[in-house]
Structure 1
Amino acid sequence: MLNFLLIGAGQLGSRHLQALALSDFADISIQVVEPSTEARKVAQERWEQVAKSESIKSIEFLADISKASRTIDFCIIATNANCRLQVLKELLANVSVRQLVLEKVLFQSLEQLDEASHLLSSVDTRVWVNCPRRMFPIYQELKKRLANEQTLSLQVQGNGWGLACNAIHFIDLWAMLGGEHDYVLDTSGLDVAVAESKRPGYKEVSGTLSGASGERGFFLTSTAGTEPVPLRIRIETEHFIISVSESVGKCTIQAKETGHQEVLTFSALYQSQLSHEVGRQLLASGNGRCELTPFNESASLHAPFLQGLLEFFNKQDGYAHTLCPIT
């Protein structure tokens, strides 16, 4: 019997739970830790809405980590960023965890990131960060095709798509496609006005967030318009111009030299279609690895992002915040 643990069963956490219901590679017991009575109720309702594998032998909804099993094979922490470090510390102080997936944004400061890195280096737990575009077959195909390209520019444009909250997804995609881990962040293209996030207590930004490492860079733009516009993703290298529409499921690859265009179709994957596959890769593949971003790699991508945004918020507020108010 494998023991699964999900910590945080809010909007995103409950989608993880729906995916875990599909796990079919071993007999599985699931525990869900969620202190909010309302969120636990929503998670239970969503659990009841989905078909379940016969391999799921039990599920238990708990209010705190202290009641969880002492040995866990696969854990997902899907809390908000403001409490994630404390949850991680409490988890590892009480539970032996074999494989762990953390939601992003990982933490809210470099100090928290460093503390977590030090803690994780002291335990025998493999840790991954949930930037799931690495699992999309379309991006895996593009990575293969762009393996020998020397230059790479990733541009993402849309409006109101939560730049502060979601930029790390595309920084991670850029790193996956180009093999970069280090970069310099530029916040000079962000709009001066800071907005309240749809999540209470957090901030959002608009404008352009960019970064570069040598001949590889990214430009992430979110305008402040109210009309929803699907994200437009453009990748340019010395040999190709690639346009990706995730909402339509269409990828166009144009060769610069000949003008020849190739169109690939795909389906964007939702979280409720992915988490069980992560568990299968980690526990049933034999090598204990998965397609998500390893923690140390993600930490190196988070560091300039967190520091750059924290400095931006402090400049706009005229106050020396120690925590970056994003999740």
Structure 2
Amino acid sequence: MEKVALIGCGNIGRRHLQALAAANRPMQIFIQEPDLDARDAAVELITGVRRLEFEFMNSAREVSEASDGSLDLAIIATGANVRKVALAQLLDSVRPRTVLLEKVLLTSERDLQEVGHILSDLGVNAYVNCGRRGFPGYRQLKSELFGMKCTSFSVKGAGWGLCSNAVHFIDLAEYLFEEELTALSGKALDFGSFPAKRPGCIEISGRLTGKLESGGMISLECLSGQFQPIFIEVACGNLVWIIDEANREIKTLADGEVVRSRPFESRNVSEMSHLYVELLEGRSVLPDYNTSARQHGFLLRVIKAHLNLPEGESTHCPIS
């Protein structure tokens, strides 16, 4: 029976729990979550699920003792501001074979570096949950783009959480074109910031712009106001693909004319049990820690500059 630790069982943690339950594999899940309401919500989701056993813990030490010091997978689904501490406490007590970390990964460049060193020194495989890599629709699009040079990659919408979710789209662009981001700018961001849903965190509206290795441009635009569904546009020369995730549709344009329209298969976290099966088997299509840490570094530097925070690597950004 496989052993999994879930550290943090709030809204995002429960989505991971649903996906694990849907994997239909014999599994013990050790859930570290002190909040009783969060525990009750988790129980409602997974009580009666076949082949799955679970119990709640208050500390990493309890997780280690209950699992006999052996874990196949650990999922760190806490807020970004406490993720480093939660991971360090777990690794002090037990060595998981694989770790899955939520994004926003960490809130300072120094923490990104230090956690990277810890994982490397301990030989722990770690990945970050930028799950669009797991959408069948993007896997198909990636195969269509093979060998093509990116002209532009853009995201447009409103209220979708630029600070919280920009890294999803930076990673998606890198995944589709197999190129690294080389520059990111916040010059087109709106002035100031506003409170995010998570207490103590902020959000920003406006547009981030960036560049890929081959010169392709990235534009991530989040208008202020209430949420409006995003549209993703990928351009290669005279060909353009427009993805409407909300309505699960993708259109292909040639020289500005629609030449094809087909269903686009997207998934919620709770619907991607295949990603967790891959992780349990020691492989993953998700970005590894070093890839995501590099992407996060670009984002943190832009946000620090926008908020006029100190430039140092130890400066924390109030995002999650």
TM score, norm. by length of structure 2? 0.93
Does 2:137 align with 1:142? no
TM score, norm. by length of structure 1? 0.91
> Does structure 2 retain, via aligned residues, the 8 Å contact 1:23–1:55?
no
Which residue matches 2:243?
244
- Unmatched 5+ residue regions in structure 1? none
- For residues 210-221 of structure 1, the aligned pairs below 5 Å read 210-213=209-212, 214-221=214-221
For 2:173 and 2:59, the matched residues in 1 are separated by: 37
Q: State the shift of 1:297 in Å.
A: 1.2
Which residue matches 1:293?
287
Q: State the shift of 1:124 in Å.
A: 2.5
> Does structure 2 retain, via aligned residues, the 8 Å contact 1:7–1:76?
yes
Using a 3 Å threshold, how does the CA distance of structure 1 residues 159 and 116 change in structure 2: closer, same or farther? same
- For residues 223-262 of structure 1, the aligned pairs below 5 Å read 223-226=223-226, 228-256=227-255, 259=257, 261-262=259-260
Counterpart AA for 1:252:
K
Which residue matches 2:29?
30
- State the Cα deviation string for residues 5-28 of structure 1 (Å, max 9, x = none): 111100110111111112224x21
Does 2:59 align with 1:61? no
- State the Cα deviation string for residues 107-137 of structure 1 (Å, max 9, x = none): 0011000000100101122111100000111
> Does structure 2 retain, via aligned residues, the 8 Å contact 1:5–1:31?
yes
2:301 to 303, 307, 319: 307
Which residue matches 2:277?
280
- State the Cα deviation string for residues 245-281 of structure 1 (Å, max 9, x = none): 0010000012339x4611120332011112x322211
SS for the counterpart of 2:167 is helix
Q: State the shift of 1:230 in Å.
A: 1.2
Using a 3 Å threshold, how does the CA distance of structure 1 residues 234 and 43 change in structure 2: closer, same or farther? same
- For residues 78-157 of structure 1, the aligned pairs below 5 Å read 78-157=77-156
Matched residues, number = 315
Does 2:33 align with 1:11? no
Could you say what the CA RMSD is over the residues aligned between the two structures, in angstroms?
A: 2.0
Percentage identity across aligned positions? 35
Does 2:164 align with 1:165? yes
- Unmatched 5+ residue regions in structure 2? none
Which residue matches 1:323?
316
> Does structure 1 retain, via aligned residues, the 8 Å contact 2:109–2:314?
no
For 1:136 and 1:182, the matched residues in 2 are separated by: 21
Which residue matches 2:200?
201
SS for the counterpart of 1:148 is coil
Which residue matches 2:267?
269
Q: State the shift of 1:144 in Å.
A: 1.2
For 2:137 and 2:222, the matched residues in 1 are separated by: 23
